[in-house]
Structure 1
Amino acid sequence: MSTGPVQLKAEVFSVAKAGEYRQFTIVAPQIATGFQPGHFVAVAVGGENSAMGLRRAFALSGATPSDAYAGTVQFVVAEHGPGTRWLVQRKPGDVLDVVGPLGTPFPLPSGPAPAVLVGGGYGAAPLLPLAQALLAAGSPVEFVLGAANASRLYGELAAKRMVGSVTVTTDDGSAGVRGLVTDALPDVIERMEAQIVYACGPMRMLQAVGELAQRRGIRAQVAVEESMACGIGVCMTCVLPVRGDDGKSRFVRACVDGPVFDAQTVRWNDIGALPPDLVGADAMGGH
């Protein structure tokens, strides 16, 4: 069976409340078969007659590959606007138009390596299957999970069941330690002698995590939260400036070239701008 992206009509198997979020489990055996941690799906919203033509992208928080039964995948939805508002109103038995699995997965270390997984809000979703993959490969794993408040945390109990050690931070102190994930991260890195950091969450958090890891002399692999309308690299809504192996910077598409990047290669301060030293920027300057 092909493990490339497919478009299919997926039945909603279950919808569970998780703090301020909704966790969907959908029947999608072709997507489950090709799933790797870091992949996402692009979901059509609004129904067939809706004017909302752009899909919404959601990182996959898990998958059960098909065998004798239909395979399922899970993703988490936060209500932000009309599209996600329509989606969180779906019920078991409803059918969604879904494309996946999309994107590049998290790269795993070549051998066992202590890893810290840092999640911001529901950005923790793709880190749960990543932790399973790292543990299966013999890598010690710890989590640092943060959010604005307790209701916006995601995955704490699942993470504790997997790895035991989970550090929680909230901006308002309503759960765990008051502060940011980057306040707690240095101690965790030092205690477990971490060799790599993985992170997913808001862009400012990813930048701060990447800079902290760089100061510690270790790599940070981050899954960016850029808006991805098509998910297949056509619409160009998710471009961001990234340095290549040749040292030159180019706009890349987060949906097909990412969403996972080495944090040191992303030009965080230039996101949303057209830096003059980007390859091809001279040709775009007049437009």
Structure 2
Amino acid sequence: MTVVAPAIAERFRPGQFVAISVGGTGSPMLMRRGLPIHDVKPDYGGTVEFVFPADLPGAGWLAERRVRDSLDLVGPLGRPFPVPRDPVHCVLVGSGYGSAGLFMLADRLQQRGSRVDFVLGATSADRVFGALRARRMGQTATLATEDGSLGVRGRVTDVLPQVIEDARGDVVYACGPMAMLRTVAAVATEFAIPSQVAVREIVGCGTGVCMSCVLPVIGEDGITRMVRSCVEGPVFRGERLRFDDVGTIPFDALGAPGARGPVEGFRER
């Protein structure tokens, strides 16, 4: 979906997102939906393009919007991807509609002289996002689907090690489900290269007030803190995100209660 939002288009940096209210003024869906920004065009009226999955609560209502309809959205939100100062070899990994957030990043990296190799995938061919654009932009574009309907049969993390080796990757960037990001971070660690992962947690407000998206993250001082992914994220260093403890408050986190247990209101993973 493309909307005219010049203030968002002007300030956007790759990795940031928008939080959109769905359902209209009479809707019982009070929480906003956090969606990755796929593209912006500041010079063409200030347009912003974002992507939403068909199973998103309120997707039907969004799909029914027409030209000149108004939407209630806030952005750009969150911290963007850090971009290297010098040219490096970058591997960009995405799954499903989460891949939408990678293409503006790829453009920025290429402007800095970096090499970009894509690894995109999903459960099936119809859920792979941006395959054609990735082939046009990237030095290489490796596709993987779990049912084998497009590219290699398997998951993006199955082919990632070979892509890193072939591309001589210096850094991995990833957008997608938490399980995928966990494996991406582990693979990057095996190759002794950094990873930057953009999480897709539930975002209720997008401004850090509702505390619905907190995650355990290890700080530079080695201390684990419960941080808001919509404000301190959504981009984190892969090796600092405690994937095993997502959905809980680790006993050693700063300010944690004495016993480890599920965070009230969080879904189990």
Q: Which residue matches 2:79? A: 104
Code of the residue aligned with 2:24 in structure 1: it is G
Q: Which residue matches 2:125? A: 150
Identity, % of aligned positions: 52
Q: Are 2:205 and 1:237 equivalent residues in the alignment?
A: no
Q: Are 2:109 and 1:134 equivalent residues in the alignment?
A: yes
* Offset at residue 283 of structure 1 (A): 7.4
Code of the residue aligned with 2:41 in structure 1: it is T
Closer, same or farther in 2 for the Cα pair 1:162/1:81, shift >3 Å?
closer
Q: 1:50 aligns with which of 27, 31, 37?
A: 27
TM normalised by structure 1 equals 0.88
Tell me if the contact between 2:91 and 2:169 (Cα under 8 Å) persists in the aligned partners.
yes
* Offset at residue 92 of structure 1 (A): 2.5
Q: SS of the residue aligned with 2:8?
A: helix
The C-alpha deviation readout for 1:199-245, integer Å capped at 9, x for no partner, is 00010000000000001000010000100110000000000100001
Q: Which moved more, 1:276-285 or 1:153-162?
A: 276-285
Instruction: Measure the CA separation in 1 of the matches of 2:64 and 2:34.
Output: 17
Instruction: Measure the CA separation in 2 of the matches of 1:47 and 1:271.
Output: 32
Tell me if the contact between 1:77 and 1:88 (Cα under 8 Å) persists in the aligned partners.
no
The C-alpha deviation readout for 1:141-172, integer Å capped at 9, x for no partner, is 01000100000000111111212511000000
Q: Which residue matches 2:267? A: none
Q: SS of the residue aligned with 1:187?
A: helix
Tell me if the contact between 2:116 and 2:139 (Cα under 8 Å) persists in the aligned partners.
no
Kindly report which structure 2 residues correspond to 1:72-91, keeping only aligned pairs within 5 A, or say none: 72-91=47-66
Code of the residue aligned with 2:69 in structure 1: it is D
Instruction: Measure the CA separation in 1 of the matches of 2:254 and 2:121.
Output: 36
Code of the residue aligned with 1:33 in structure 2: it is E
Q: SS of the residue aligned with 1:190?
A: helix
Q: Are 2:140 and 1:165 equivalent residues in the alignment?
A: yes
Tell me if the contact between 1:61 and 1:126 (Cα under 8 Å) persists in the aligned partners.
yes
TM normalised by structure 2 equals 0.94
Q: SS of the residue aligned with 2:251?
A: coil
Give unpaired runs (5+ residues) of structure 1: 1-23
Tell me if the contact between 2:249 and 2:256 (Cα under 8 Å) persists in the aligned partners.
yes
Q: SS of the residue aligned with 2:257?
A: helix
Query: Following TM superposition, where does structure 1 have runs of at least 4 consecutive aligned residues deviating by more than 4 angstroms?
Result: 283-287
Q: Which residue matches 1:275? A: 250
